[in-house]
Amino acid sequence: MNEVSYSILINLPKQQVWEKMRDLTQAHNYVPGVVRTVMHTQQLEGVGASRVVHANGGKLLLDETVHEWTEGDGFVLRLHRGDDRAMPIFNEMYFRYAIEDAEGATLFKPAMIVKPRGLLGKLMFKLARSKMQQSVADVGIALKEYYESDKPVTSARMRELKGQ
């Protein structure tokens, strides 16, 4: 498995961050490019809870199913399209949402974890690593903004946060 990760301090207590994070219906408010989040399952949290995120103006659908759940500390989502892989070049893709106490604040440590498929997958990971790293950082930056302000992060606001 290969991993790209990021860390960012959220100026809220860990318990408050966890209460927001465990709501799997809110990804469209902080994941850049996601415009809608719909739960697949009646189960709203814990292993097996599943959602579909709509990105690229709603044209791209991606399933996200909770693969691991650690109450109060985070979860890992398996990224897929129905029974198929999320991307043909990766056998497996996961996104980890992890939080740690940071003396009255919370350290958020998002990560993208992939298992490349064959030599082509390994090569593509190397080529896409910096783009994936930026995507993980963008989720961290936007989640921090959304949690601290309670306002959905627009593309214009994201550009401001990144100083562009």
In tens, the pLDDT along 111-161 reads 999 999 999 889 888 998 999 999 999 999 999 999 999 999 999 999 999
Residue 33 · residue 55 · CB < 8 Å: yes
Q: How far is CA 59 from the centre of its chain?
A: 19
Task: Quote the CA–CA distance of 79 and 52 in Å, as a whole number.
Answer: 10
Residue range 2-161 forms a domain whose CATH class is alpha beta
Q: What is the pTM of this model?
A: 0.93
What pLDDT does 76 receive? 98
pLDDT at residue 164 above 80? no
The residues that bridge with 61 in the sheet, in sequence order, are 54
Give the start-end residues of each E strand in 1-89. Answer: 2-5, 8-10, 34-39, 50-55, 60-70, 74-81, 84-85
At residue 68, the 3 state secondary structure works out as strand
* Type of residue found at 138: D
Task: Quote the CA–CA distance of 43 and 119 in Å, as a whole number.
Answer: 38
pLDDT at residue 57 above 80? no
Q: Which two tokens stand for residue 139?
A: 């989720």
Residues 19-56 as b/e (b if ≥16 CB within 10 A, e otherwise) read: ebbbebebbbbbbbebeebeeeeeeeeeeebbbbbbbe
